[in-house]
Structure 1
């Protein structure tokens, strides 16, 4: 079960990999340190043995044989330079000792010309030694070596030190791996706990953000996603409630008219009565169809599936087209509709959607500003991006009502007698969000200013 859990847990696998990599790194460091200390000492000893053996062999060849080499060996053993570790032995052709400090020597069958590790008897004591055996002219044999007892002590000390240090480092690495796993599982656990609470229905839960590392950035991204989901779910609940309440009235109206038409048909049997009732029902059904069409427009805009229709556009020209379109309607209602002067305002977006959004804002301003009001349409750019704006000097909206204007089906009490369904600003807000922007509603004192901002 434990192995199965390790296989399934990314935290356990990462911790195990971290521990193994650390242990391997420690082993490599220990190996490098060992080679850099003991290896250097061994190579230095070997180099000295080769040089000294070659010098004694040359002296044997050019001198008077064993006498010259024996004198040199006696000198080397008394010059107080490595005298306590040097090993020499000169053996004649008959196998007898001529000079040196070995009281017993290795097996005569030992390989010649190679550096060997052997135990020898030096001055009556068995010691480990590094030896180089060389054959001389006339059958003599020369043993040159170094007492490695001290070297073995150093080697043993280094090995023990590396073993203890490496073991401690491995234990620390294991502890670090376990700590790493615990911290990783704790961070992931908070995310999973939040996800479980959201799955249980608490959409207000958010992941705690306690740092700016990768997990912190991931938590912020997930929290923004959850904010968006909660906003959409609130919108769905609001729409459901609004449909349940606001559509009951037109449906009831249709039913009453059809019921009245049946009564008239039963009493009077007139074709005109049937036609009037049918036309009234059709008008009410058309009104419901328009409501659902607008809800579909909001859904399409909020889905974010139209970026392929984005192109380079001029917001000032869009404003001019909409003003020209609504001039006649504004004149009929006694409203002065003007476009503020300005230069071209380049932007990128869907021209049809932005034109539809601006038309909805202008239509609302003309409808609610009242006779004698002035409605201004403008476009421009600032440090936050480009924008389209509609401003009027009508009665305006109470400050506490401003945040509610983009809610679907929301209408002010004083405007419920006017035609409409409370979806216009919701559509505009969705179009703004599709373009990466927002809908800003401000009190113009007097009147209202609604600004559709686009992403910079």
Structure 2
């Protein structure tokens, strides 16, 4: 038995190939790039800390070495060797080191047995305020050690070298370097792992969206994309869902229009054909006046059909949204006042009281001609279906969000289960089907409201209908 459902298309092949390779996703690539940048920034920060700490410790060491030189400057050349021995005896072992050398570089006293060849020596009479030590490797009691050294030239030509071990500085330096390397590796590895996990989650969402879009492409227009989360992918899915809502609505309208043409227009066409056939077969037996009446009736039937087609074309034109170019600032108060002036004589002729309540409202961006046509249809329906002696009320209210236009009558009303249906093309309410009409007036109103992004709501009871339009002040 063949499997159900659409076969995978060639367009799905790249997505299926991508699902098992998370490192090729945009999410993974961006996270990896961010991880690399973050790791480099982290390593640069640790490097800066290491540089600052080690140089601060070296400056502190230089300060101690300058103090040592000042201490020995207070001693005479003859006392220098004994002063060095005394310092070595009382100082902490392996911390401070000293060396005294003759003018020709031979060892005289101290635990340093080698004179650094590149060491710059200050004169003995200087205060050594600007002296800076140097990092060298010297033999201390026969073993090499990393030292920070500083020296001076004595008055008798001897060379005095004072030094301090860099063991603490090296230990701190090593710890910071280890933190730099290990921290950088952990940051990079953790970020790459996080990128893989997040990209796997994103790929699951993309796969769900792909399956939904494949089902929609196969004809299931009722399916919608998953919108979990609040990121860009969810926003895109919401936009696509809105597009699918509109596509489904348009497809339903096309189907409804086709069904309406097939069913609702069939009756008047059959009636027109029968009337003309009867008139043709009995032409000799009928008087000219009777034939003229038949022709007038046929003409009325044809005019009704033309009106229906014109209304459907009008709805299609409005639904195409090409009329937004004609939007301008519209004064709703003036528009509703013009409606009252137009329909007040008709209402008076039918014995209906037409009442208005108009508040000052903000201007709205709209097509004035289309709004006038839509509001005219609402008012025309109210006057048409209100019995003699009834009341039709038009009101324009100012709201915090915009303006609200409403038309209320005390006619037969619209059952709650039919209030959504009457906004569709060619549908006529069960309580008003005996009255003349095409069932397209509210369809035009609904199309105009969608064009303007206004909200249309129908309410009321068995003793009347209230149609309310919320007019939001959208920007052009």
TM-score (norm 1): 0.81
What's the CA shift string for 1:222-249, capped at 9, x where partnerless?
4444434433332233223222322333
The DSSP-based 3-state class of the residue aligned with 1:415 is coil
Q: How many residues align?
A: 442
Q: Is residue 88 of structure 2 the alignment partner of residue 71 of structure 1?
A: no
Q: Is residue 123 of structure 2 the alignment partner of residue 112 of structure 1?
A: no
Say if 1:6 and 1:12, in contact at 8 Å, map to a contact too. yes
Q: Distance in 1 between matches of 2:137 and 2:357?
A: 107
The DSSP-based 3-state class of the residue aligned with 1:306 is helix
What's the CA shift string for 1:322-370, capped at 9, x where partnerless?
34433444455x4414123555555434433233223212322233334
Q: 1:354 to 1:293 in 2, by over 3 A?
A: same
Q: Distance in 2 between matches of 1:343 and 1:112?
A: 95
Q: Distance in 1 between matches of 2:32 and 2:277?
A: 77
Say if 2:99 and 2:160, in contact at 8 Å, map to a contact too. yes
Query: Which residue number corresponds to residue 163 of structure 1?
Result: 181
Query: Which residue number corresponds to residue 111 of structure 2?
Result: 101
Q: 1:452 to 1:161 in 2, by over 3 A?
A: closer
Query: Which residue number corresponds to residue 212 of structure 2?
Result: 194
What's the CA shift string for 1:12-70, capped at 9, x where partnerless?
321122211221122123213322333322332244335534654x45xxx643x2322
Query: Which residue number corresponds to residue 423 of structure 2?
Result: 406
Q: Distance in 2 between matches of 1:79 and 1:99?
A: 16
Q: Distance in 1 between matches of 2:133 and 2:354?
A: 106
Q: Is residue 292 of structure 2 the alignment partner of residue 292 of structure 1?
A: no
Query: Which residue number corresponds to residue 379 of structure 2?
Result: 362
Q: Distance in 2 between matches of 1:119 and 1:380?
A: 92
Q: 1:325 to 1:93 in 2, by over 3 A?
A: closer
> Gaps (5+ residues) in structure 2?
1-16, 122-131
Q: Distance in 2 between matches of 1:254 and 1:212?
A: 59
Q: 1:160 to 1:13 in 2, by over 3 A?
A: closer
The aligned runs of 1:79-90 (5 Å cut-off) are: 79-80=90-91, 82-90=92-100
The aligned runs of 1:36-55 (5 Å cut-off) are: 36-53=52-69
Query: Which residue number corresponds to residue 237 of structure 1?
Result: 255
| Equivalent residue for 2:338, pick from 298, 321, 330 | 321
Q: 1:282 to 1:73 in 2, by over 3 A?
A: farther
Q: 1:244 to 1:138 in 2, by over 3 A?
A: farther
1:90 positional shift: 0.9
Larger relative helix fraction: 1
The DSSP-based 3-state class of the residue aligned with 1:356 is helix
Cα RMSD of the aligned pairs, angstroms, is 3.7
Say if 2:100 and 2:158, in contact at 8 Å, map to a contact too. yes
> Gaps (5+ residues) in structure 1?
none
1:294 positional shift: 1.7
Query: Which residue number corresponds to residue 10 of structure 2?
Result: none
Say if 1:86 and 1:146, in contact at 8 Å, map to a contact too. yes
Q: Is residue 30 of structure 2 the alignment partner of residue 14 of structure 1?
A: yes
Say if 2:412 and 2:431, in contact at 8 Å, map to a contact too. no
Q: Is residue 457 of structure 2 the alignment partner of residue 447 of structure 1?
A: no
Instruction: Considering Cα pairs closer than 8 Å and 6+ residues apart, tell me whether 1 or 2 has the greater RCO.
Output: 2
TM-score (norm 2): 0.78
1:425 positional shift: 0.8
The DSSP-based 3-state class of the residue aligned with 2:59 is helix
Q: 1:286 to 1:135 in 2, by over 3 A?
A: farther
The aligned runs of 1:171-210 (5 Å cut-off) are: 171-210=189-228
| Equivalent residue for 1:431, pick from 437, 443, 448 | 448
Q: Is residue 44 of structure 2 the alignment partner of residue 28 of structure 1?
A: yes
Q: Distance in 2 between matches of 1:274 and 1:336?
A: 38
1:441 positional shift: 1.5
1:438 positional shift: 2.1
Say if 2:357 and 2:395, in contact at 8 Å, map to a contact too. yes
Q: 1:130 to 1:375 in 2, by over 3 A?
A: closer
Q: Distance in 1 between matches of 2:250 and 2:436?
A: 27
Q: Is residue 401 of structure 2 the alignment partner of residue 390 of structure 1?
A: no
Q: 1:355 to 1:275 in 2, by over 3 A?
A: same
Say if 1:264 and 1:273, in contact at 8 Å, map to a contact too. no
